[in-house]
Amino acid sequence: MTQTHDLSATRMAAAVRTGEVSPVELADHYLARIERLNEQVGAYVTVTAERARDEARQAEKAVREAADPAELPPLHGVPVPVKDLNMVDGVRFTIGSGVYAGLTGFADDNVVTLLRRAGSVLLGKTAAPEFGLPCYTEGDVGPPARTPWDLSRSAGGSSGGAAAAVAAGLAPVAQGSDGGGSIRIPSSACGLFGIKPTRGRISQGPIIPDLFGLSTNGPIARTVGDAALLLDVMAGRMPGDLYAAPPVEGTFASHAGRPPGRLRIGRSREPAVAGAVVHPDCVAAYDAASELLAELGHEVVDMPPVFGPDLVPHFETLWAVMATITPVAGDSEHLLQPLTRWLRARGEATSAPQLFQAHAALQGALRAAFPVMDEFDAILHPTLAEPPAPVGYFHDQEPAENFERQKRFTPFCAMYNISGQPAVNVPLHWNDDGLPIGIMLAGRLGGEGTLISLSAQLEEARPWIGRTPAIWTA
């Protein structure tokens, strides 16, 4: 029997417009599931039940009064949670930290404004680790975010709560963000499709600065079409943004229904992190994806590595400095996680010349890498070097070991935050233990449309929508 949360967000939006589904019914359905299941998966840190029901009632009234419901916004009445690294006016805003456990948002981030304009209903704030720094979602603010496929394992991070919500049927789609893999990592761990867009595609403002351009908002969804629709809603440059993405032809949703044509696809499974070893399950997913792409008529060739271990210390310098940006009063520093304190100490010890030298070294590497990468329409990698990690695998270690484990776990993602290129996780493979193992496709700057078309082709060839964890039917 089809349940409400079996519907895609695209189908849900269409059903709201025709009156087939009520926004109030949708909100009540998801809020009931959150009440029953959230403690198990750690998806939400704040649930805005009263606000969600109020927004749903307003959405239902708008459907009744609309002269032409087809003209309603694209996500009218569809529940969409917001990651707790993004501010929502009047809603608790912890930034994943005990330091900010009592803070209430005083403005809407630009991406939140766009989600509201699109007609979405806010279910709440999804869990994130402290300041979004780790690739897992554990801390003092709420329970660990767990992949619904195995509740002993992490949902990843830093958009772990967002991915856990979608994979467990606690939201149809979710907004996430990605500064070093934070959309693709949890999408892989939770068996979802996630998009890190081109740098400048989605505004970071008005609260979050662009700075090095590593981080961007993006969608997490069960289907390619849903992610493309959410990307259309969130995309847009705002005054004061430092970066601007190349324009795209048509909508991203239209690319989900457009054949990609025959593409030249480079592939590499050589980690950019010294000591990282790609697990056989991740190699199997990578090889299977290579074979499928070739079967679909694409040219798949090995690509020489363009990013090596020599760049990792430069990225670490940027990451440590970024850890210092969130203000923390001296008498509250004891509330920070050990990893956060360790990273902030590294960042505070970095001189301005050291920071500029690191940034310059990364730009120099990109000038050599782009001519190689631009020979390909897309580039294939494993998303992660290992299957989803047990809860505590990173968090229970001393900071230096914690950070080393994170680097070896995700040695492929951050290179595309450095370059600003779009990249997606595609959930094509599950191992013998029933754990999802994603593959990553990266594209040219501004090439989200190509990645969406290619991913939709893969989705049609090897559908994953019917694969759901046991908790899905709870």
Question: Going by DSSP bridges, is the β-strand pair 216-221/173-178 parallel, antiparallel, or unpaired?
Answer: antiparallel
Token pair in block for residue 384: 């992660």
Active-site residue flag, 182: yes
- DSSP code string of 208-269: S--TTS--EEEEEESSHHHHHHHHHHH-B--TT-S--PPP-SS-HHHHHTS---S-EEEE--
- Amino acid identity of residue 38, one-letter, is N
CA atoms of 104 and 124, how far apart (whole Å): 13
Active-site residue flag, 83: yes
Active-site residue flag, 125: no
Q: Report the number of secondary-structure helices (H) and strands (E) in the chain.
A: 15, 11
Of 300, 303, 302, which Cα lies nearest the Cα of 292? 300
Cα→Cα distances 164→65, 149, 173, Å = 35, 10, 11
- Amino acid identity of residue 323, one-letter, is A
List Cβ neighbours of 169 (8 Å cut-off, separation of 6 or more).
3, 5, 33, 468, 471, 472
Among the listed residues 159, 182, 188, 419, the single catalytic one is: 182
List Cβ neighbours of 64 (8 Å cut-off, separation of 6 or more).
none
Question: Going by DSSP bridges, is the β-strand pair 124-126/82-83 parallel, antiparallel, or unpaired?
Answer: parallel
3-state secondary structure of 194: strand
Among the listed residues 22, 154, 158, 177, the single catalytic one is: 158
CA atoms of 313 and 166, how far apart (whole Å): 34
Among the listed residues 22, 83, 125, 188, the single catalytic one is: 83
What residues are paired with 265 via a beta bridge?
Answer: 300, 378
77 φψ region: left (φ > 0), alpha (ψ -120 to 50), beta (else)? left
Q: How many residues does the chain have?
A: 474
Of 74, 22, 83, which Cα lies nearest the Cα of 53? 22
Cα→Cα distances 206→46, 202, 286, Å = 22, 12, 39
Catalytic residues: 83, 158, 182
